[in-house]
């Protein structure tokens, strides 16, 4: 059984490679980390694998963690990188998981064909642009948080979002859709 | 292709995107349904934390040094 007094104790023990402290951090943060990853990869099964990969990276990097800094922010950054690596390996024209492919409430004014073409075009974006656009436009996360997770400035996030919209417009026009 | 994009056009693409791809964060699938710790433990068992390569290199250098200069062993033991 874990007998650790405070969060700072856990972080310090984690830095020294203590498995009990790592387990405590894992149990405390797995839901938030998974929740962040599923926003990016948009596939619950893949998000579980990426969550494991994230904590594996966290475990390997324990000696580099500064216990005076935020574990959440550090974990989120590692999670974002792991999710990006996952997106790089996924076929871009692979279909979306059913529950994400079909909105629970039908959207008026958007035909199924347009919706599918838009989703496909979006998945063809370079992963770095896709992540920024997903978090900013679809998930509506604050730019400051996205910047922290990606390790770039807010301005760079805005630029990536803008570039993704421009590429999306180009791809949609190529498919005969006039936004 | 016109590389510039006007604000209304940008907004229209944003709206189209939002209507085509629902946010994953608001769905029940965004909630973790099981404890992942058992899977994590399996991963840890499969890949035990390896000793960094430079530690092995340092050990090899030391072993080679002691093999070529055995007289250094007592000196090393004295300083340990």
ipTM of the complex, rounded to two decimals: 0.78
The pLDDT mean for chain A works out to 88
All structural domains of chain A, each given as residue ranges with its CATH number in brackets, are 7-89 (1.10.1740.10), 98-174 (1.10.10.10)
Mean pLDDT score, B31-48: 89
Q: A19-41 and A44-60 are packed helices; what angle lies between their axes, rounded to 10 degrees?
A: 140
Task: Give the rounded percent of residues in chain A with a pLDDT score beyond 90.
Answer: 70
**Token pair for B74:** 């007592």
Subunit contact A110:B20, Cβ cutoff 8 A: yes
Asked whether residue A164 carries a pLDDT value surpassing 60, the answer given is yes
User: For residue B80, is it within any domain?
Assistant: yes
Mean pLDDT score, A41-62: 95
For residue A139, give the chain B residue with the closest CA: B23
User: For residue B29, is it within any domain?
Assistant: no
d(CA B7, CA B15): 12
User: For residue B61, is it within any domain?
Assistant: yes
Asked whether residue A91 carries a pLDDT value surpassing 80, the answer given is no
Q: Which domain holds residue B62?
A: 54-80
Q: What is the pLDDT of residue B1?
A: 44
User: Pick from A120, A130, A126: which is nearest to A175 by CA?
Assistant: A120
Q: What is the pLDDT of residue A100?
A: 52
User: For residue B62, is it within any domain?
Assistant: yes
Q: What is the pLDDT of residue A29?
A: 96
Q: What is the pLDDT of residue A96?
A: 57
Looking at the partner chain, which of B12, B25, B43 has a beta carbon nearest the beta carbon of A139?
Answer: B25
Residue B51 forms contact with A (CB below 8 Å):
no
Three-point CA angle A16, B35, A98, nearest 5°? 125
User: For residue B76, is it within any domain?
Assistant: yes
């Amino acid at each position: 059984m874990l007998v650790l007094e405070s969060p700072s104790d856990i972080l310090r023990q984690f830095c020294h490679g203590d498995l009990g402290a790592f387990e405590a951090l894992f149990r405390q943060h797995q839901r938030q980390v998974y929740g962040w990853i599923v926003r990016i990869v948009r596939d619950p099964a893949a998000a579980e694998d990426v969550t494991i990969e994230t904590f594996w990276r966290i475990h390997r990097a324990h000696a580099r963690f500064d216990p005076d800094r935020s574990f959440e922010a550090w974990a989120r950054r590692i999670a974002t990188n792991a999710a990006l690596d996952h997106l790089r390996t996924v076929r871009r024209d692979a279909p979306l998981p059913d529950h994400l492919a079909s909105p629970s409430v039908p959207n008026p004014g958007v035909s199924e064909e347009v919706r599918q073409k838009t989703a496909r075009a979006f998945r063809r974006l370079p992963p770095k642009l896709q992540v920024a656009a997903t978090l900013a436009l679809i998930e509506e996360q604050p730019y400051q948080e996205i910047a922290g997770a990606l390790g770039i400035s807010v301005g760079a996030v805005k630029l990536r979002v803008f570039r993704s919209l421009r590429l999306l417009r180009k791809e949609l026009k190529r498919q005969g859709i006039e936004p | 292709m016109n590389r510039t994009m006007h604000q209304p056009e940008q907004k229209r693409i944003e709206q189209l995107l939002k209507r085509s791809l629902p946010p994953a964060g608001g769905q029940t699938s965004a909630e973790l349904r099981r404890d992942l710790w058992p899977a994590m433990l399996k991963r840890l068992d499969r890949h035990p934390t390896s000793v960094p390569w430079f530690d092995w290199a340092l050990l090899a250098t030391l072993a080679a040094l002691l093999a070529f200069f055995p007289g250094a062993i007592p000196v090393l033991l004295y300083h340990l």
